[in-house]
Chains A and B, each alone.
Chain A
Amino acid sequence: MHYALNKLLQAALTIFLVSLIIFLLFQIIPGEPILSRVGDAADPALEEALRIQYGLDKPAPERYLVWIRGVFRGDLGVSIRFDRPVSALILERLPNTMALSSMALVMIIAFGLPLGIAAARFSRDARGIVFNLFTQIGTSIPSFFLAILLLLLFSVRLGWFDVMGHVSPEQGMFPFLKGLFLPALAVAVASMATLARYTRSSVLEQLSMDYVRTARNKGVTQRRILYGHVLRNALIPILTILGILVTNVLSGAIVIESAFSIPGLGSLLHGGIKNRDLPLVQGISLYISAVVVAMFYLIDILYSVVDPRVGEGRGGKQ
């Protein structure tokens, strides 16, 4: 309990610092969003009026407080391009990004884990090399190029999916999920390979432990050793890279949503940057970072539940 509270405080501090960094970055060019709103040939009086209206005449610490107070009330500012609250835009696009990311995450775990376990099981030198080469290829192909390859194969050659297959969820759950399948796969492959590599080395490390030799000498079957003993211990360190995988998935979703023109957070952010809609960019950046911090926190807690050594005493084993 003490551990969870301590971690919660740390996560709160991290979110505070992240918000500070994002705020400060967007202060470097303070007048810009206002100016782009009035246009180039603005008269100074109007500009000054807007400055006061948006509180830009106040000192930076005060502006930060105003901004962060708004954030706590769910007010992330107003998008210049859409002239609507950023939070409303985020909520509108969130379901698509959530669906895409969760689908990718399910694929990563469903294929990455078994692949890594199988590779550790059949680990002889030559196979190790083949496995390494293939997983490195998986991590090296950029997601947007993979998306093109998948489209060429599954949509053009085989005709299993529509070429630009995004369907809104109102048109039915199955077509919606089917439309997300190829984008999710494009996002997932790199992290799938990463997870498989981690799993393999983690399982191999456990297999070299003394307790495995003892079990083997006692006559426990290879299968029982692997699934009954080794896997349980091997999965604990794998938990730590889950956070990195989710961050990768979110980054991948930003690119792939633009590539497949899926109306999600990533394409919203992309459009915001292209149109210099800075309040929108600021709001989305803060939102995504907060999600990542929250997730890192949850994983820390999960880790301490799975491995009781962590969190015992002061900070656990490391």
Chain B
Amino acid sequence: MRQTWSKALTNPYFVIGSVMIALLLILMAWGMAGPPHDPNFIDMSQSSQPPGPQHWFGTDTLGRDVFSRVLAAAKNAFGTGLLSTVISLFLGCLLGLISGFSRPAADALLTRMMDVMRCIPNLLFAMMLIALFGAGFFNTVAAICFINIPNFYRITRGSVLQIKSREYVTWARLAGIPFWRTVLTHILPNILSPIIVMTSMTMAQAVLTETSLSYLGLGIQPPDPSWGQMLADAQRNILTAPWEALSVGVCISLLVLGFNLLGDGLRDILDVRNV
């Protein structure tokens, strides 16, 4: 344990990634505790002000403080990312376990279904679901969760197939140890490392998908603030007020980069190869 920690603290990717995520978490907390200005306060006399001591990231065309709006939208980026990743982690692992332990026919059917899902580009699949069920926070989470299930399914199923034929699993069954305890004590510890790495990578993808959907106006809906939708608005005033697009875009990139780097670092630290 201590060895893992010292490995983690000397791993540049892990350290840089964690610092980035921590920084954005602090911004999110600040936004929830009370940002410097009201993010929805419209003041036309302050329209399109460049960054300054009053407004750190400047103001948008309606005179709203961009910094406060960025803070307010952070919780939606984290929220959709975390929620969708956790749910797809749970469902993906569950399906992977079922598939790995069930009869070949059922396993083949599930695996085929997951392969088929892979053939529909992720963003297209998410857009299709949104077209049918409508936009909004929960539908966005559901759509992103759905497209990420195969990631966790694949890892879990692969590990189960590898471990299930080992002798100690057979002995455990012969000894009358309940199935769920075998899973808990023998299977889960073995798949923990790849799943941790995959979770970090999936978080990055989930944030990217959410901002893409919101950018297209198909994700989180106004007045609920989101980075993607702010960027789409800011793009119209890119010539007169580039600071809004720049600050929002940098925040999105930092969050995605943070989780990608964290995943890279964790892969080195936990010595995972197949993710």
Contacts and interface: CB of A to CB of B under 8 A. Distances in A.
Interface stretch (B26-34, B48-56, B123-131): B123-131
B130 A296 contact: no
Contacts of B122: 247, 251
A281 B128 contact: yes
Contacts of A28: 132
A186 to B, nearest CB: 12
Contacts, number: 127
Contacts of B177: none
A162 B204 CA distance: 33
A18 B256 contact: no
B59 to A, nearest CB: 19
Contact of A274 (B13, B124, B217, B238): B217
Interface string B77-116: 0000000000000000000000000000000000011011
Contacts of A240: none
Contact of B115 (A14, A25, A272): A14
Contacts of B238: 148, 151-152, 156
A144 B208 CA distance: 11
A193 B131 CA distance: 31
Interface string A137-161: 1011111110011011000100000
A149 B252 CA distance: 14
B121 A22 contact: no
A288 B125 CA distance: 11
Interface stretch (A54-62, A78-86, A109-117, A253-261): A253-261
A222 B11 CA distance: 31
Of A17, A18, A140, A255, the most chain B CB neighbours within 10 A belong to A140
Interface in B225-244: 231-232, 235, 238-239, 242
Q: Is the interface of B mostly helix, strand, loop or mixed?
A: helix
A276 interface: yes
26 contacts: A14-B119, A18-B120, A22-B128, A25-B128, A28-B132, A29-B132, A140-B257, A142-B253, A144-B232, A145-B231, A145-B245, A145-B252, A148-B249, A152-B238, A163-B239, A251-B123, A251-B124, A255-B123, A255-B215, A259-B215, A270-B218, A273-B127, A281-B127, A281-B128, A288-B120, A293-B119
B242 to A, nearest CB: 6
Given A144-B212, A148-B231, A273-B130, A292 B119 contact: yes
B44 interface: no
A29 to B, nearest CB: 6
B264 A156 contact: no
Contacts of B253: 137, 140-142, 145
B120 A289 contact: yes
Contacts of B115: 14
